[in-house]
């Protein structure tokens, strides 16, 4: 089960990264004096790749939680900026986009949502594992002490 969850999370984050790197150039014109939407897309893609690599290299509860948070932030951003005209704030340009086009936007939100579910489920599974093992080892050691 853990391998499947890792694979789903990594695939979803890879889709997120690909889509954001691919679409970044199309959004370069939307900018403030500090940042463009393309800069934000490239940063999102880079962090998604980092989270996927961290999960592949060291599949622990904390890397799974990090991957889940990265994917959840991406999912939330797509949905919020699709339905809410937040406007620009600070260095962030107005990223309101009321359409589910291009197709890659749909692909991104599905990949991010699946990665969120898989990574956060994996984080819970991996976090519970050591507790279960240490509790059973304590029971076994206390049983051996009481029999001695």
Give residue-wise pLDDT tens across range 41-66: 999 999 999 999 999 999 999 999 99
* Regions of the chain where pLDDT drops below 50: 133-136, 138-139, 143
Which residues does 26 contact at the CB level (< 8 Å), separation at least 6? Answer: 38
Residue 110, beta-bridge partner list: none
Are the CB atoms for 28 and 93 separated by under 8 Å?
A: no
Query: Strand, helix or coil at 36?
Result: strand
- 99 DSSP 8-state letter: S
Q: For position 129, what pLDDT does the model report?
A: 78
Q: For position 101, what pLDDT does the model report?
A: 87
Say which residue the tokens 């932030």 belong to. Answer: 73
Phi, psi of 21 (to 5 degrees): -65, -40
Q: For position 130, what pLDDT does the model report?
A: 58
């Amino acid at each position: 089960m853990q391998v499947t969850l890792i694979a789903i999370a990594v695939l979803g984050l890879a889709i997120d990264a690909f889509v954001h790197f691919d679409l970044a150039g199309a959004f370069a014109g939307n900018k403030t004096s500090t940042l463009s939407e393309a800069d934000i897309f490239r940063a999102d893609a880079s962090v998604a790749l980092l989270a996927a690599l961290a999960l592949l290299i060291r599949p622990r509860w904390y890397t799974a939680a990090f991957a889940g948070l990265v994917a959840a932030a991406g999912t939330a951003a797509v949905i919020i900026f699709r339905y809410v005209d937040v406007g620009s704030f600070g260095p962030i340009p107005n990223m309101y986009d009321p359409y589910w086009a291009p197709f890659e936007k749909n692909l991104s939100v599905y990949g991010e949502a699946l990665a969120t579910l898989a990574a956060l489920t994996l984080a819970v599974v991996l976090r519970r594992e050591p507790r279960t093992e240490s509790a059973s080892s304590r029971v076994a050691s206390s049983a051996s002490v009481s029999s001695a």
